[in-house]
Amino acid sequence: MNPKRIIVGVAGGIAAYKACSLVRQLSEAGHDVRVIPTESALRFVGAATFEALSGHPVRTGVFEDVDEVPHVRLGQEADLVVIAPATADLLARAVAGRADDLLTATLLTARCPVLYAPAMHTEMWQHPATQHNVDTLRRRGAVVLEPASGRLTGADSGAGRLPEPEEIATFAQLLLSRHDALPHDLSGVKVLVTAGGTREAIDPVRFIGNRSSGKQGYAVARVAAQRGADVTLIAGNTVGLADPAGAHVLHITSAAQLHEAVTKHAPDAHVLVMAAAVADFRPASVAATKIKKQPGVQEGPTIELVRTDDVLAGVVHQRIDGQLPNMRAVVGFAAETGDANGDVLFHARTKLARKGCDLLVVNAVGEGRAFEVDSNDGWLLGADGTEAALEHGSKTLMASRIVDAIASFLRVGDA
């Protein structure tokens, strides 16, 4: 990889301790990370901790190492600035253009992408002043993440929790990979995403499943939420993935449960992204007790399979029949392998025509590709005949390109 110079700014909030994990993750990814805390932040985490994790000295004021002019040089040389946590006070100072410490002075001189990860109490996050400041920073080109919801300081719970360090690091890497800003352009758009594999029970112990990890669907939900969409994520088997910040997550197990959840939420959605790997077949009957091996019998039991409902085709038919007047875009996924009848794209084009969706994301699978890995590539096919390659990279990068295409499709539809 190409290592980058990253500044991690840490504001004075209880979530400052999570910045330690963020610094470690970015450093272990090979980047040159420098921490600039505020004086208040050092009341939560000592300078020695940040120095040990980053390998750089920690300063807070503009009158230290004056000969190196750090308040100008650090911002000028940075490839990315990440502020985590970004408190209400820090957001307000950034909007006002204050330069009363090393961190705010650095923000004024930085010409690279800037990523803010807010953390504060719900009332502070929802206050009109904070929302105005967030909108202002976004208009200026900064990326301000939606906070997570959950336990806050004390017994309080709600929106305003700092996203997990893994999620912040994911977006940091995305900004470095995209080479452009992550727009906040889906405000008011309701996006329904399905992710992960379904499990079809054979008995109380066994099931029929697949190799989907849910990582790609989660990445789409995560990116769409951070671009302002109102995201509902229906998650099947997702190997313990953390819920994306800003998304409402529903957990299901079987294809029937996924069908029920999509049927319930599709009428309100503007966009459906069917990234889940839904089982095509399920056992015709489920044994009430564990199926046991019979002594002296070599043959195993015969399991009769029946087809599951085609959730994607069902949504398309409902839209054609006028039952989903809000639905403006339907995105399908196809995991394909070539065979004697044709290559991956041949089968994908056939599936696109058969399913009737607006966009189809195509992955070639097998030999460590697509499933159970953190990177991906493929193609994006449009019902209008357009085809575009999706470059190899992280699943978050691929998700951002998919959401780019969805946003473009919606803009064309509005024109």
- What letter would DSSP give residue 269? -
Looking at residue 413, its pLDDT comes to 77
The predicted-structure confidence for 4-16, as pLDDT tens digits, reads as follows 999 999 999 999 9
CA torsion angle for 348, 263, 310, 222 (degrees, to 10)?
40
Report how far residue 233's alpha carbon sits from residue 4's, in angstroms, rounded to the nearest whole number. Answer: 33
Looking at residue 414, its pLDDT comes to 79
Segment 137-155 shows an average pLDDT of 91
Beta strands per DSSP E along 60-176: 80-86, 114-118, 143-144, 148-151, 157-161
Highest mean pLDDT among 154-163, 316-325, 329-338: 316-325
Catalytic residue ranges: 210
Q: Specify the CATH architecture of the domain 190-414.
A: 3-Layer(aba) Sandwich (3.40)
280 annotated to a ligand binding site: yes
Report how far residue 404's alpha carbon sits from residue 223's, in angstroms, rounded to the nearest whole number. Answer: 10
Looking at residue 69, its pLDDT comes to 59
In this structure, which long-range contacts are made by residues 291-300, counting pairs with CB atoms below 8 Å and at least 24 apart in sequence?
A: 291/202, 291/203, 291/206
Q: Is pLDDT at 66 greater than 70 in this prediction?
A: no
Report how far residue 294's alpha carbon sits from residue 279's, in angstroms, rounded to the nearest whole number. Answer: 29
Looking at residue 369, its pLDDT comes to 52
| Contact residues for 292 (Cβ-Cβ < 8 A; gap 6+) | none
384 annotated to a ligand binding site: no
Q: Which fold has domain 5-177?
A: Rossmann fold (3.40.50)
Looking at residue 268, its pLDDT comes to 97
Compute how many other C-beta atoms are within 10 angstroms of the C-beta atom of residue 362: 25
Is the Cβ–Cβ distance between 196 and 214 less than 8 Å? yes
| Residue 42 φ/ψ region, left for φ over 0, alpha for ψ in the -120 to 50 degree band, beta for the rest | alpha
Between the alpha carbon of residue 112 and those of residues 11, 31, 34, 91, the distances in Å are 19, 15, 15, 17
Matching CATH topology for 5-177 and 190-414?
yes
89 annotated to a ligand binding site: no
Q: Is pLDDT at 275 greater than 90 in this prediction?
A: yes
Burial of 306 (0-12, 13-18, 19+ CB in 10 A): exposed
**113 by DSSP, 3-state: which?**
coil
Looking at residue 371, its pLDDT comes to 58
What's the N-to-C CA distance of the chain in angstroms? Answer: 40
Looking at residue 395, its pLDDT comes to 92
Helix 70-77 vs helix 102-109: angle between axes, to the nearest 10 degrees?
50
- The whole-model pTM stands at 0.90
Q: Which among 185, 167, 99, 232 has a CA at the least distance from the CA of 394?
A: 167
Report how far residue 40's alpha carbon sits from residue 234's, in angstroms, rounded to the nearest whole number. Answer: 40
The predicted-structure confidence for 357-391, as pLDDT tens digits, reads as follows 999 999 876 565 555 567 788 899 999 999 998 88
Looking at residue 415, its pLDDT comes to 64
Report how far residue 157's alpha carbon sits from residue 147's, in angstroms, rounded to the nearest whole number. Answer: 12
**347 by DSSP, 3-state: which?**
helix
Picking from 138-142, 180-184, 315-319, which range would have the lowest pLDDT averaged per residue? 180-184
Q: Where are the domains of the chain?
A: 5-177, 190-414
